């Protein structure tokens, strides 16, 4: 009899876990509370406009490609993407603008000239970024930190010997200031803390490895938008016999004698040899595992930032904007103090605009653009979000009007809004956190929940709220870690 595996949730990590378990020979069923698959990789459509609802940055596409390659198929038969020549356009309040080139050598030359910095310093920073990644990826990103076998290897010994290079005892902001005298360049590299929902003034300097992922691997645009990543993996899963039960939330995980044995939904009890939860780890314990002791220290961890997103249909085109655009706050440190300490929105927020119609013209009507406008936000702690949204909307428009010399109130013809309450409701992410726990301490990586249960045999966890963290690449790596932990099928 073929062993059965159940995956709870069909976010990107749930889809990847299902595919990897199917490839190992398990009979796989995915239970999803929503009527669609993909989790945060969903879509918003209204009056001829289409927006990717959630993640908008695509890096390390080989992690998606390898899921297709597991089944011996050419990824291009399901999923296509192209590399971007320009990574992001940056705008500062003093009218400084800068476009980051995807070629590291060109970026170094252009940034050195723009910010009056020696190219050698920028090159050294990027080389150190790569070195941090090379020293830690095999341990922190590709294996379970919670298995002793991870630490008994040559790679681990090499990393421990050179741990002084990881800058874990200083903040990302302090590290960046040791390299650059230009406040603009410091702020540009500080922004990478937001890639895992953290503050550059708290997260350790090891996070300076993130630019390497962008500069070395590049940034990409998937044909059909980010939504297509999840849809193509869903199609691959269907083609390989994975069963999906949509609109069927799991009510509890069933266990007996220290072993997970199945799940219960409103439609019945379903047994399995292996269970994988892609649900937020906080919600998994609070909703599905009410009858076992909870890892309180882990569940009490500070949550990552959330987001306030405006999906705007703009009846004009802006040639000065590209796929990714950032309009910086004039006081970045105060902005993060508001988000993480005061649990408020700052009056001068950093504004991110993603415009997929730059790459997919059909995402907006002719001579129009689909703007995904996002600011970093605190989690949902019961604030007056209606008041906060109204105030933030006015401040965002005022900021963009100033930079672009327009009246956006006259140009916004369609609007949808997603706040932390909505994110929490749609994705079961505790407090609407985008990346699970924040990485605002040097011990954060070790405090993330492991990819397996220490209490229940055969129960595993994947997704952005567990090791190794949030964001599409790390979610895909969490699925790989789970697959490596799950026992091989014995004939």
> Does 368 map to a domain?
no
Q: Is residue 200 domain-shared with residue 228, that is, in the same domain? A: no
pLDDT band at 136 (very low <50, low <70, confident <90, very high): confident
Q: Which pLDDT belongs to residue 142?
A: 62
If DSSP codes are grouped into helix, strand and coil, which group holds residue 252?
strand
Q: What is the mean pLDDT of the chain?
A: 93
Query: How far is Cα 467 from Cα 143, in angstroms, rounded to an integer?
Result: 9
Q: Is residue 158 domain-shared with residue 192, that is, in the same domain? A: yes
pLDDT exceeds cutoff 80 at 165: no
Q: Is residue 158 domain-shared with residue 126, that is, in the same domain? A: yes
Structure tokens at 324: 């990714």
- CATH number for the domain spanning 254: value is 3.50.50.60
- Final residue of a domain: which of 185, 217, 249? 217
> Between vectors from CA 30 to CA 29 and to CA 34, what angle results, nearest 5°?
150
Question: Over pLDDT 70: what percentage of the chain?
Answer: 94
Over residues 91-104, the pLDDT tens digits come to 999 999 999 999 99
Question: Over pLDDT 90: what percentage of the chain?
Answer: 85
Note down the domain range covering 162: 103-217
> Does 250 map to a domain?
yes
> Does 417 map to a domain?
no
pLDDT band at 1 (very low <50, low <70, confident <90, very high): confident
- Burial class from Cβ neighbours inside 10 Å (0-12, 13-18, 19+) for residue 281 reads buried
Q: Is residue 132 domain-shared with residue 173, that is, in the same domain? A: yes
> Does 416 map to a domain?
no
Least confident of 135-149, 266-280, 320-334, 439-453: 135-149
pLDDT band at 167 (very low <50, low <70, confident <90, very high): confident
Total number of domains in the chain: 2
Q: Characterize the bridge pairing of strands 97-101 and 274-277.
A: unpaired
Q: What is the CA radius of gyration of the chain?
A: 22
Beta-bridge partners for 449: 466
- Final residue of a domain: which of 217, 251, 268? 217
- Final residue of a domain: which of 217, 252, 267? 217
Q: Is residue 292 domain-shared with residue 264, that is, in the same domain? A: yes
**Mean pLDDT throughout 253-265?**
98
Q: Is residue 174 domain-shared with residue 280, that is, in the same domain? A: no
Query: How far is Cα 153 from Cα 131, in angstroms, rounded to an integer?
Result: 19
DSSP 137-186: IIIIITS-TTSGGGGSSHHHHHHHHTGGGG-TTSBHHHHHHHH---HHHH
pLDDT exceeds cutoff 90 at 116: yes
Q: Is residue 9 domain-shared with residue 69, that is, in the same domain? A: yes
């Amino acid at each position: 009899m073929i062993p059965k595996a159940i995956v709870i949730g069909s976010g990107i990590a749930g889809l990847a876990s299902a595919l990897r378990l199917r490839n190992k020979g398990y009979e796989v069923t995915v239970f999803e509370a929503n009527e669609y698959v993909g989790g945060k990789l969903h879509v918003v459509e209204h009056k001829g406009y289409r927006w990717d609802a959630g993640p908008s940055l695509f890096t390390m596409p080989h992690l998606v490609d390898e899921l297709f390659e597991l089944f011996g198929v050419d990824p291009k038969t399901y999923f296509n993407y192209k590399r971007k020549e320009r990574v992001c356009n940056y705008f500062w309040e003093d009218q400084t603008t800068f476009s980051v080139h995807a070629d590291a050598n060109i970026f170094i030359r252009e940034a050195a000239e723009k910010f009056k910095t020696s190219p050698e310093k920028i090159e050294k920073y990027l080389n150190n970024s790569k070195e941090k990644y090379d020293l830690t990826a095999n341990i922190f990103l590709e294996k379970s930190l919670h298995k002793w076998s991870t630490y008994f290897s040559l790679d681990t010994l090499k990393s421990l010997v050179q741990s002084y290079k990881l800058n874990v005892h200083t903040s990302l902001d302090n590290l960046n200031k040791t390299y650059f005298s230009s406040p603009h360049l410091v702020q540009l590299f500080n922004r990478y803390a937001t890639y895992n929902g953290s503050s550059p003034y708290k997260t350790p300097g090891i996070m300076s490895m993130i630019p390497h992922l962008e500069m070395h691997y590049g940034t990409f645009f998937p044909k059909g938008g980010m939504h297509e990543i999840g849809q193509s993996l869903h199609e691959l899963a269907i083609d390989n016999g994975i069963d999906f039960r949509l609109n069927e939330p799991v009510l509890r995980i069933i266990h007996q004698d220290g072993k997970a044995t199945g799940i219960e939904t409103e439609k019945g009890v379903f047994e399995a040899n292996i269970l994988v939860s892609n649900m937020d780890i906080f919600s998994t314990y609070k909703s599905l595992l009410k009858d076992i002791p909870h890892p309180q220290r882990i569940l009490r961890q500070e949550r990552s930032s959330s987001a306030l997103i405006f999906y705007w249909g703009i009846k004009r085109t802006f040639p000065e904007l590209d796929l990714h655009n950032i309009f910086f706050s004039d006081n970045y440190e105060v902005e993060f103090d508001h988000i993480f300490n005061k649990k408020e929105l700052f009056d001068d927020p950093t504004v991110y605009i993603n415009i997929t119609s730059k790459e997919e013209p059909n995402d907006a009507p002719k001579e129009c653009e689909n703007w995904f406008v996002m600011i970093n936000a605190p989690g949902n702690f019961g604030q007056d979000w209606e008041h906060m949204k109204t105030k933030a909307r006015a401040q965002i428009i005022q900021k963009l009007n100033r930079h672009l010399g327009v009246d956006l109130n006259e140009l916004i013809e369609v609007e949808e809004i997603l706040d932390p309450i909505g994110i929490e409701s749609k994705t079961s992410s505790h407090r609407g956190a985008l990346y699970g726990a924040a990485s605002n301490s040097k011990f954060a990586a070790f405090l993330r929940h492991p990819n397996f249960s220490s209490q229940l045999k055969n129960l595993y966890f994947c997704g952005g709220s567990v090791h190794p963290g949030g964001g599409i690449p790390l979610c895909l790596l969490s699925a790989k870690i789970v697959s490596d932990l799950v026992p091989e099928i014995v004939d």
